[in-house]
Amino acid sequence: MMPDTQTRLVGVIGWPIEHSLSPAMQNAALREMGLNWTYLAFAVEPERVGDAVAGARGLGLVGLNVTIPHKAAVIEHLDEIDESVEALGVANTIVRTPEGRLLGHNTDGAGFLRSLAEHGHSVGGRAVAVIGAGGSARSIAWACARDGASSVAIINRTVEKAEAVADLVRATTPLAAVSVAPLEGREAQEAVSGADVVIDCTSVGMYPKHEVAPVVPGEWLREGQVVADLTYNPIETVLLQAARRAGAQSVDGAGMLVHQGAISLQYWSGQEPPVETMRAALLGALGARK
């Protein structure tokens, strides 16, 4: 579809942004939905975030995705934020209402829970081990606690960062069973082996350093567990290979990426996005990179 006077714009802001897979995924969905919208990637310097958000408001964009390093900085430029943004202090989706108000959402945690659900899994009533304590670990730990996990253990190389994530989860959800462990040692082994759902939120195993030891030894994993890895390049990471060998069920990171984007598109359009089309576009774009 060639742009015309009715074409509306939506996009993603980040710095840098060239690596983003969102345009491929979102434009494939827009085509299938028959929406006369175009999704673009905007490289926005950190000191220009306010200008970029004001531009979206003034030009009447449908909305924006927000990626690193702007997820926290956009918040002061929005009119309203939802509960996830309030708790986590980061937004990845901005919706512009027809009146020009800007609403902030964070779809990462919900996207992850949907990716589990499409494999028939959930965290409700289950013990969860989150490995890592960076930006994605915060969203995932919070979402699992909010979605009814019976306990959440946060395991990280830098234990102080795990403490900070645990404090956030305790302060913003009703879950009291939140524990912390350093990555190496017996406590981590017990938490990982005892968990029903193990979620790797570290960057260990990401291409091009994909042929490394998994973030936890394969011997810590077992049959009956669900092991999810947020890293999506490669799709089957070293941790997921170890999970397969241990007889655990694995969930790759592509599902979360697709679903967080699909939830954003649902906010913007009010329609159910074509998730399989988005997944195919994402996998195609990933394959083209190698």
* 136 touches ligand NAP (CB under 6 A): yes
- Which of 38, 43, 55, 134 touches ligand NAP (CB under 6 A)? 134
Question: Distance (Å, rounded) from C-alpha 198 to C-alpha 74?
Answer: 31
Q: For ligand NAP, give the closer residue by CB, 146 or 259.
A: 259
Strands 197-200 and 127-131, by their bridges, are parallel
State the nearest-atom distance from the C-beta of 97 to ligand NAP, in Å.
26
In single-letter form, the type of residue at position 287 comes to G
Residue 161 bears catalytic tag: no
* 104 touches ligand NAP (CB under 6 A): no
State the nearest-atom distance from the C-beta of 196 to ligand NAP, in Å.
20
Give me 153's structure tokens: 């253990």
Per-residue string for binding with ligand NAP, 236-255, x by CB under 6 A? -----------------x--
Q: For ligand NAP, give the closer residue by CB, 92 or 225.
A: 92
Q: For ligand NAP, give the closer residue by CB, 96 or 229.
A: 229
Give me 41's structure tokens: 């990637």
The one-character DSSP state at 76 is G
* 185 touches ligand NAP (CB under 6 A): no
Q: Is the dihedral of CA 192, 195, 198, 202 positive or negative?
A: negative
Give me 131's structure tokens: 């490995």
Judged by DSSP in three states, 12 sits in strand
* 55 touches ligand NAP (CB under 6 A): no
Q: What is the CA radius of gyration of the chain?
A: 19
Question: Distance (Å, rounded) from C-alpha 101 to C-alpha 123?
Answer: 34
Residue numbers annotated as active site: 71
**Binding interface with ligand NAP (CB under 6 A):** 108, 132-137, 156-158, 161, 183, 201-204, 206, 215, 230-232, 253, 256-257, 260
